[in-house]
Amino acid sequence: MDFEAWWLILIPILFGLGWIAAKVDVRQLVSESRNLPDSYFRGLNFLLNEDHDKAIDAFIEVAKLDSETTELHFALGSLFRRRGEIERAIRVHQSLLSRSDLPRADREHALHEIAQDYFKAGMFDRAENAFKEVQNTSYGVSATRALIRIYEAEHDWEKAIAVAARLRELTDEPLPQQVHYHCERAQSALTAKEPDFARVDAELNAAEREAAQSTGPAASQASYARIAMLRAYLARRLGDGKTERQWLLSALERAPEFAGLVARQIMDNFEATGETEQAVNLLRDHYFAHPSLDVFEVVFAALREQGFAPAWQFAQESLRQHPSLLGFDKVLNSELTHEQGSGEQGELQQRMPDLDLGLLRAMIDKHTRRLDKYACRVCGFQAQTYYWQCPGCNSWESYSPRRPEE
């Protein structure tokens, strides 16, 4: 290969230029680090050691020496908010917003930060206004999500529906909570002093349209179950038992995991027409296909009204297939309730006279009380009542219709 002589000149020149550039960068870095106060490095060291109190004091000292350090102000505000010192966080961000020379990007950042401060302080009206100001910026998605949280907390479902529609445009992601916004509006109209049945029907129609756009079997089951339950409740309020039964049975078929939420209503509906036996057979078959303690409890109580033998035969078969301490506790509770209601000694007590059912149930109940709760799949928050929205983390459709033991 031919070797050009001019390479002998070019290589030393390139090497020299690189050496000069490196020297300049190092000198600039050293110069900038010397200009930084010692408090800045002490603050960083405290942060790394998770000593937030001393880190804040050090950064405040730096901020006093150089008021132009916007990034430091943002760091301070974030630290204050994380520690729950919301007033100090607000003051830091307000001081930034009061500067007339603040660049547009930093102003938007400061608005987004102070909106979060207001939100955490519970000042939803101020937070709403601040988040609206940054909705058309790079913080648009985050601000829109926050607005949804605000409207959910205020139960302003109309605004929540509108903002959720905007979020869908921005992210193109499924939002199962839109179904529940309409269901919440329908439920409010149903339970009002003067129910507006036409509005209830309209809201449930809207909920069905939203549910049709949802994806995922779990989401569709939860959405359909709630819509069907509200449809059944509406029919009952209108005195239409036939339509009520149709909706309850459709929930049983299309959302089998949620059978426990409608089992009691199904039994009541069939009992009203003297068809208790049909309801018992229906729910018993469903229980063995989709075990649920709520369904088990309803079936056992109905069978116990027919007699001791069929009820305990069902209980033994069920608990043998699906052992459950909580299920046994519910059996004992039902037996004690039946005994108190009849005013006579129960058959179990007659067969085992030395057995103190009350004491046995009290001992078991002490251990099962913590099991008799529904749990959020996202944050683990537990409650004895089933929620469509978790009170702990505000997630929708995150509660399993079954208890953790199941």
Q: Which residues are annotated as a binding site for Fe cation?
A: 376, 379, 390, 393
Long-range CB contact pairs, 80-86, < 8 A, 24+: 80/56, 81/113, 81/116, 81/117, 81/120, 82/52, 83/52, 83/56, 86/117, 86/120, 86/121
Q: Is 395 helix (H, G, I), strand (E, B) or coil?
A: coil
Q: What does the angle CA 286 – CA 290 – CA 293 come to, to the nearest 5 degrees?
A: 90
**Binding site per annotation, positions:** 376, 379, 390, 393
Query: What Å distances lie between residue 269 and 100, 162, 285, 306, CA to CA?
Result: 69, 37, 18, 18
Beta strands at 382-383 and 374-375: parallel, antiparallel or unpaired:
antiparallel
- All residues at 6 or more sequence positions from 316 whose CB lies less than 8 Å from its CB, including other chains: none
Distance, CA of 190 to chain centre: 25
Widest CA span of the chain, in angstroms? 116
Beta bridge partners of 158: none
Cβ-contact 248, 265 below 8 angstroms: yes
Q: How many CA atoms lie within 13 A of 390 on its CB side?
A: 20
